Amino acid sequence: MFIYLHVLLEGAVYAEFTYEVFGFCREMDTTLTHLTVPYVLLVLQAVFFYLCARRDPGTVTKKKISGQLSLYPYDGRLFHPGVSCETCQLIKPARSKHCRVCDRCVQRFDHHCVWVNNCIGARNTRYFLLYLFSVCAMAGDMAVLTGDMLFHAVLRSGLLRASYVDEYGEQQPAGPLFVAQHLFLTFPRIVFMLGFLVFVFLLLAGYALFHFYLALVNQTSNEWYKSRGYTCQHCHPDATADRLRGPAPDHFKRNHYSRGLLRNLEEILFPPKPVQKKLS
């Protein structure tokens, strides 16, 4: 459902941009190079979306379990050795979690993203980050082009030098509110689209920066959430008791998987592969 909503919103924005904004920008001498950037970003975003949605996030399987168990050590706080998943009937590797939506345990589990209909884990976190940043760049670039078009429309119309007669019969200069009302009445769809683009950019920019921070410190959103005392009943045997204790102490919030900024980023971009142990 969310994928269809994603495609519908994206299609509506690009249809409006192509149908109205593109033509107005060409009339105002915006270069064709600048106007093609949103379409290039659309292609990149579609590629990262596909990779994020279709790539295996790192499913824990019987075939790979021996190698996946050796990828990360148990920290003894968030992840404990010898704990089995009741659903998969497999020992849970450190940093893994069972996703109730996908019905599988995922290596280095971050979260389940409804917008791509897939878990975000060890094997597709890099694509998820690139997808977020490409959507931010796409929304930001289109917002700048649309805002520039409206600004030049105001300059060409002479609205800034205009005046109107108020309810008391006095002549008043056109202020920002008057200009905004005029733009909304003249370009209602474009103004609405601009507001939507700004909202999406601000929302996703904050979300993307948060996930980039997590990548820098080698932490998943699941670990960040749990380290603050909000444990999941499906992941921790004493989840209810932990909630009653209140916020987690400082030593519980420590991240035991950070290896420095560069090595943390390297792990995201080039995730380690589980090595199967051969029986001699």
Q: What is the pLDDT of residue 198?
A: 98
The pLDDT value given to residue 235: 42
Q: Could you tell me if 237 and 175 are in contact, meaning their C-beta atoms sit under 8 angstroms apart?
A: no
> What CA–CA distance (Å, rounded) separates 193 from 200?
10
- Two tokens at 39? 């379409």
156/191 Cα distance (integer angstroms): 17
Measured distance CA(280)–CA(276) in Å, rounded: 12
Active-site residues: which are they?
Answer: 113
Task: Say if 27 falls within a structural domain.
Answer: yes
Closest CA to 197 of 151, 152, 147, 153: 147
Which stretches of the chain drop beneath a pLDDT of 50? 232-247, 279-280
Query: Could you give the CA distance from residue 150 to residue 191 in angstroms, rounded to a whole number?
Result: 8
Instruction: Quickly count: other Cβ atoms within 10 Å of residue 29's Cβ.
Output: 7
DSSP assignment of 115-142 equals TTTEEE-TTTHHHHHHHHHHHHHHHHHH
Residue 190 lies in a domain: yes
Quick one: pLDDT at residue 238? 44
Q: What is the pLDDT of residue 241?
A: 40
Q: Which residues of 147-157 are buried (b: 16+ CB within 10 A; e: fewer)?
A: eebbebbbeee
Exposure letters 79-113 (e unless 16+ CB within 10 A, then b): beeebebeebebbbbbbbbbbeeeebbbbbbbbbb
Residue 147 lies in a domain: yes
* Diameter of the chain measured on Cα atoms: 97
Could you tell me the residue range of the domain that residue 17 belongs to?
1-56+122-164+172-228+254-269
- Does residue 111 fall inside a structural domain? no
Contact call for residues 5 and 11 (beta carbons, < 8 A): no
Residue 84 domain-assigned?
no
Return d(Cα 221, Cα 224) in angstroms, integer.
Answer: 5
Task: Look at residue 276 in the predicted model and tell me its pLDDT.
Answer: 67
Confidence at residue 253, expressed as pLDDT on a 0 to 100 scale: 58
81: in domain = no
Is 247 among the domain residues?
A: no
Question: Rounded to 10 degrees, what is the CA torsion of 21, 26, 29, 35?
Answer: 70
pLDDT tens profile 239-249: 444 443 444 55
Distance from chain centroid for Cα 243: 28
pLDDT in tens, 107-131: 999 999 999 999 999 999 999 999 9
- Whether 275 maps to a domain, the answer reads no
**How many structural domains does the chain have?**
1
